Amino acid sequence: GVSPGMWQAPQVPRYVRVNTLKTSVEEVIDYFKRQGYAYLGKATSMKDLCSLSEKQFLLDLHLPDLLIFHPQLDFHKNYLYMAGHIVLQDKASCLPAFLLNPSLGSHVIDACAAPGNKTSHLAAILKNKGQIFAFDLDIMRLTTMSTMLVRAGATCYELANQDFLTVDPYDPKYREVKYILLDPSCTGSGMVNRLPGPEGPPSLERLQALAGFQRKVLTRALRFPGVQRLVYSTCSVHREENEDVVRDVLQEYGAAFRLVNVLPSWPQRGLATFLGSECCLRASPEETLTNGFFIAVLERKPEGDDTAS
Ligand code: SAM
């Protein structure tokens, strides 16, 4: 049973990602303790999260740089946020960069990057050592992103106001790109604060148009000759934008790439719509106390490995 004071999905906790380019998890924990919050240590289960009071916080179970606070709190005016020491980012949206896990010094593409929360997370994982090529079509969003990346202390990136579908995978500039993060436009149907949505569920036409774009952009990304690992993510709950996109693209590229079974302990997996879909992750307010989200991690098969994925 749920005891009084416990809050319930679809409310999700306030997640605070520590920007390790500017500070450390220890320093941020100390800061919040000095502000009067009690630190309860690392979470062990979802139940720990649901019983947090407004004056307590936890370290996340899966992500080493993520702190968890009560849903009612808002840190947009907090000094640490203004100074770029923390990023206010839902847990699900922290998973793509964490699971891509680029090695120090490597070259990474962020194909649909603005407003750049995942780019700044990638820069933190790279410790600013390496190169991120970040693309976005929308100049306004790129402008916001540029300000945010400066505030976050990221330096290892290059922004381009370019349609990723027009980027030449064989351009020598991208020869060393081993990692790609692909977080394309989607219906956004998983966003908690957009539920149920004033415009109602997306029309079939809109879903099909987005899914068509998502297949195209994923196909394009897999053409980069050096890419070894790719994370595909959406904040959609629709299988048309998620499992179906991955299934269709693997049908074409399954000889060269396979799905990686990431975070085996993660409770919510891809819908069982094709063989291997359980390698994908889903997230939701009910099951993972996050926004609705989908993630697939693809890796290039070793040469000479012809096994179907
Ligand atoms: N990854 C971002 C983050 O974590 O802050 C959010 C990305 S948002 C889901 C998708 C982005 O893709 C939008 O900013 C949109 O402008 C951009 N976009 C849409 N079509 C694109 C294209 N063909 N090439 C590059 N960017 C595109």
Q: Is 135 in the pocket of ligand 1 (CB under 6 A)?
A: yes
Give the pLDDT band of residue 1 (cuts 50, 70, 90): very low
SS3 241: helix
Q: How far apart are the CA of 138 and the centre of ligand 1, in A?
A: 8
pLDDT tens-digit map of 194-240? 655 556 788 999 999 999 999 999 999 999 999 999 999 999 999 99
Measured in Å, residue 112 CA sits from the centre of ligand 1 at 3
Could you please report the per-residue DSSP string of 211-230? Answer: HHHHHHHHHHHTT-TT--EE
- CA distance from start to end of the chain: 42
- Measure 62 CA to ligand 1 centroid, in angstroms: 26
**How far apart (Å, rounded) are the C-alpha atoms in residues 232 and 245?**
10
Residue 137 C-alpha to ligand 1 middle, in angstroms?
7
Cα gap 246→242, rounded to integer Å: 6
Catalytic residue among 186, 235, 279, 280: 235
Q: What ipTM was estimated for this complex?
A: 0.99
Q: Which of 110, 137, 145, 293 to mutate to test the pocket of ligand 1 (most atoms within 8 A of CB)?
A: 137
Q: Does 280 participate in catalysis according to the annotation?
A: no
Residue 178 near residue 227, CB atoms below 8 Å: yes
pTM: predicted TM-score of the whole model, two decimal places: 0.95
Q: Residues 132-144: pLDDT tens digits? A: 999 999 999 999 9
pLDDT tens for 87-143 read 999 999 999 999 999 999 999 999 999 999 999 999 999 999 999 999 999 999 999
Ligand 1 nearest atom to the CA of residue 163, by list position: 24
216 lines ligand 1 (CB under 6 A): no
